[in-house]
Structures are given as structure tokens and as C-alpha cells.
Amino acid sequence: MEKVFRNLLIWLLILVILVPLGIIASGTAYGEWGADELQSLIGYVPAGFASLQGLYHAPIPDYGTDWASSFIGQSLGYYLAAIIGVCLLGVLFYLIGKELTKNKEDNEDTA
């Protein structure tokens, strides 16, 4: 494995290890409010917004943090979400990249 790739991979793994830092902040991102938050912010749930609720249910809502109430429990869920996301995207793009470059031999010249 190339040294630069290995080191970047290590940095990525460190980010994954640190990922529970991302749930310490409890507020919702601006504009990403749910129905209950809109209710308390403006006193009603906008009708168009309400009609879109339940359009889709994600298999792992909130990155796996709502199954437990303790920080450790939520961190485990968040870890799971990070690992699933990283592995899925890593494998997917590795396969896509392999497919796109399979007929290229030494294509350094296209740079």
C-alpha cells in the first residue's frame, strides 16, 4: 500500500474514532427542523411541510443515536452509522473507480 494512501487512511480512521464528538452538540442545524421543533419555534406546523411527513422512513434514523439515551449508547449507534457509511461509500467508489478505469493501462497522460 502506498505510504500517502496509508497515512490518509489512518487519518480517516482517527476521524471515525473521534466521531462521537459530533453528537455533543445537541442543537438542530439551521433549517433542518422537524415538525415538533417548528411547532415550538413558530407555533404551528406549516401545512405543506406536514403533508410531506412520513413520505419516507429511513432504516437508521438520526444515525443510530435515538435508540439509547446515554452518551455511550448514542456513541455506539453513531459509530455503527459511521462504519456503515464509510464502508458502503468506500467499497462503492472503489468498485466504480475500478470499473471506470478497467480498460485504461497506463493513463497518466490524461492528466
Q: Which residues bind other proteins (CB under 8 A)?
A: 2-5, 7-9, 11-12, 15-16, 18-19, 21-32, 38, 42, 44, 46-49, 52, 55-64, 78, 81-82, 84-94, 96-98, 100-101, 104, 106-111
What's the min distance (Å) between Cβ of 29 and other proteins?
5
What's the min distance (Å) between Cβ of 51 and other proteins?
8
Q: Which is nearer to other proteins, 4 or 72 (CB)?
A: 4
Q: Which is nearer to other proteins, 58 or 72 (CB)?
A: 58
**CA pair distance 38, 18, nearest whole angstrom:** 31
What's the min distance (Å) between Cβ of 70 and other proteins?
18
- C-alpha 88, offset from chain centre: 11
Do the Cβ atoms of 63 and 77 come closer than 8 Å?
Answer: yes
Count of residues making up the chain? 111
What's the min distance (Å) between Cβ of 105 and other proteins?
8
Instruction: Name the DSSP class of 22.
Output: G
∠ CA 43-40-25 to the nearest 5 degrees?
155
Q: Which is nearer to other proteins, 30 or 69 (CB)?
A: 30
Rg of the chain over Cα atoms, rounded to whole angstroms, equals 20
